[in-house]
Structure 1
Amino acid sequence: MTDRTLPRPLVMLLVAAAAVIALAGIKAIDAVVGPVVLALVLTIAVSPIRAWLTRKGAPAWVAVAVPFTVVMVFLIGMVATLTAAVVELAVLVPSYTDEFGRLVTQAQLWAAEHGISPQVNKALQSLNPAQILEFAQGLVSGVMGVVTSLFLMVVLLLAMSLDAPIISRVMAAAAAERPAMVGALTTFASKTRRYILVSTIFGLICAALDVVALYFLEVPLPLLWGLLALITNYIPNIGFVVGLVPPALLALLTGGFRGLVLVVVAYILINVVVQSFIQPKFLGDAVGLTTTATFLSLIIWAWVLGALGALLAIPLTLLVRAVLIDSDPAAKWTGALVSGEIPRK
């Protein structure tokens, strides 16, 4: 009998092509996929509240309304705080035009003394107060975009909250017939909750310490930069750098190079120590992804879904792993390459 099995290189090429097509399709409808995934992650995050209320015998509507209210209070509070702070930033930036010009002049004089004027002047040409103002205005527009899409988020969260008890019963009933898939999805939900919980706790710690440090260093809008530090804590690998750049630049405008150095040192002492040395000990194997897989997931999902993809890179990758790898017992070695854990025989 003729062996009609496709050659493995051809299978790999077909899989890669299918992945590219799927990602391109998701990117084409990112305005829908992003809010859907965010609503799913938030619904999973508050599912222990719903389970606790159910065990206590609370009415069905209470078990739905309480988790939904918790999520909405969190979202509305964060959007409101971010909106107020960003609007204040847009008003504040133009007042530093003179200081910016003085720093540019100092940089040009320093470059002339060291014989590197052409290179420095070329770099400085791309920087001007108008661009900084445009950046601030872009932040305002981005926040307003989040506010306008909040209605979609409310509808999705409400729908998922209403369907959550039904999904739980379906999963329990399907466990006997599809144990691998149900187990994979259950593990995904558990790891996602732990990842969000640990990241949120340590993000709040870093944000609070950052706000205190920026307040004593007299950097304007410390609350905004603390909130930014909390949000960027969910971005793997490069989140710390993203959260550092804006307050460091503002410290340069208000306190010169000394202020810049102090902010950078403070952020390194707070964020690097907490996120690189303390947080991983509590996070443990919640993620189950190698460093390479985590970084690649950040690049891919940020390209597909933009900033929201960067924030949801870990949950999205965990979901893909659950559906495509963990649900297939034959793919245990593929899972080992992604997680770095050698499967048991």
Structure 2
Amino acid sequence: MLEKTNLKYYFFYIATSVIIVAGFKAASEVIIILLLAIFIASILSAFLNFLTAKKIPKLLAYMILISVLAVLILLLTYMLNSSLTNFATNLPDYEQKIKDSIVLLINYAQEFGFTVNKDEILKAINFSYFFKFTTDIIGNIGSIFSKALLVFIGVAFILSETKVFEKKLKVIFNKDKTRLLNFRLFSQNLQKYFTVKTFTSFLTGSFIFITLFFFNIDYPILWAVVAFLFNFIPVVGSIVAAIPAVLLSLVAGDFEVTIWLIVIYMIVNITISNVLEPKFMGKELGLSPMIIFFSLIFWGWILGIVGMFLAVPITMTLKIAFESANNTRWIGVLLSDLSRRNSRI
């Protein structure tokens, strides 16, 4: 039987969690910008440390990273806006071609005696929602760019405060060396996760771009960026990222290319997700598959579509934070995939 004191603590923690979640949901737009700035800064800080280790002055290294980030944001915004605009313009043609391909498949099936309601199937194929989604993105490109600018400024400030932040930690944990070591371990593991995940996502996008360019699929840069971003969403991300390119190959009427694309997408994602990531990341950073699934639902509900991209990084951050302290390590174990490591409990 639980003691009354412990019971009060449990209710207090539950009530506090509910209030925090409600606050996150109410302030989701601000939270998204803050989290993106923190996560991107965590990735870039690894490169900042690498440059300073090569005897490059910190100010010069800082300016190099910020300049590269600014150029990347501008290039990506321009290329995505251009690709999406052309894609939205050609979308009605793609819709008609896909319908024509489906009619051919239905006629082919009917030749073998299958009964297929052609009118119902064609009626069900409606690209209006996808067209609206694409045009909404194009229409809001200015808003997206302004938020990207806020993230950029946030990253610049966080990177500029790295050394000062370390001094603050030494002052805070002056009499508790264990907590300081735990926090450093947490920071190192978090940085390791983001660096490896970004690297593997970049590899995924690069391989997809080369493949699509080789097979002459429209908008290879756009679908490569989609593959890069959706690689941060486990399980369903790689499947969703493959759909546009596969559909465009079907539109072209080349079924052999379609099969090749499906096979290559599977090989790239399986190899990178199941071979490279565990090797570079380390088995100790693994999340339970159940936790991954529910984190996608939970953070997607709180932060929207961006929450699905950030679901695993946020949950991984919480797991690493919990495992860094002895009194909360049991929560980190609950979030872990113990099938991929030896328990140290």
Normalised by the length of structure 1, the TM-score is 0.83
Greater shift, 239-248 or 41-50, is seen at 41-50
Q: Does 1:220 align with 2:218?
A: yes
Q: Does 1:332 align with 2:340?
A: no
Deviations along 1:70-93, one digit per CA (max 9) or x if unpaired, are: 433333333333222222212222
Q: Is the 8 A contact 2:223 2:241 kept in 1?
A: yes
Q: Is the 8 A contact 2:106 2:116 kept in 1?
A: no
- Residue 205 and residue 44 in structure 1: after superposition, are their counterparts in 2 closer, same or farther (change >3 A)? closer
Match among 239, 246, 250 for residue 244 of structure 2: 246
The 5-angstrom pairing of residues 267-282 of structure 1 reads 267-282=265-280
User: Secondary structure, in 3 states, of the residue corresponding to 1:5?
Assistant: helix
Equivalent AA in structure 2 for residue 206 of structure 1: T
CA distance in 2, matches of 1:47, 1:121: 57
User: Secondary structure, in 3 states, of the residue corresponding to 2:235?
Assistant: coil
CA distance in 2, matches of 1:70, 1:153: 15
User: Secondary structure, in 3 states, of the residue corresponding to 2:5?
Assistant: coil
Match among 201, 206, 209 for residue 207 of structure 2: 209
> Which residue does the alignment assign to 1:87?
85
User: Secondary structure, in 3 states, of the residue corresponding to 2:285?
Assistant: coil
Match among 125, 128, 137 for residue 127 of structure 1: 125
Q: Is the 8 A contact 2:291 2:335 kept in 1?
A: yes
Matched positions, count = 338
- Residue 21 and residue 54 in structure 1: after superposition, are their counterparts in 2 closer, same or farther (change >3 A)? same
Match among 230, 233, 244 for residue 231 of structure 2: 233
- Residue 5 and residue 68 in structure 1: after superposition, are their counterparts in 2 closer, same or farther (change >3 A)? same
The 5-angstrom pairing of residues 178-327 of structure 1 reads 178-179=176-177, 181-255=179-253, 257-285=255-283, 287-323=285-321, 325-326=322-323
RMSD (Å) for aligned C-alpha atoms: 3.1
Deviations along 1:242-263, one digit per CA (max 9) or x if unpaired, are: 2111111222222255443332
User: Secondary structure, in 3 states, of the residue corresponding to 1:114?
Assistant: coil
Once the 2 structures are TM-superposed, how far is the Cα of residue 196 of structure 1 from its aligned partner? 2.5
User: Secondary structure, in 3 states, of the residue corresponding to 1:46?
Assistant: helix
CA distance in 2, matches of 1:64, 1:4: 53
CA distance in 1, matches of 2:297, 2:251: 31
CA distance in 2, matches of 1:199, 1:168: 25
- Gap runs ≥5 in structure 2: none
Seq. identity, %: 23
Normalised by the length of structure 2, the TM-score is 0.83
Q: Is the 8 A contact 1:46 1:67 kept in 2?
A: yes
Match among 165, 168, 184 for residue 167 of structure 1: 165
Equivalent AA in structure 1 for residue 166 of structure 2: S
Match among 35, 39, 42 for residue 40 of structure 2: 42
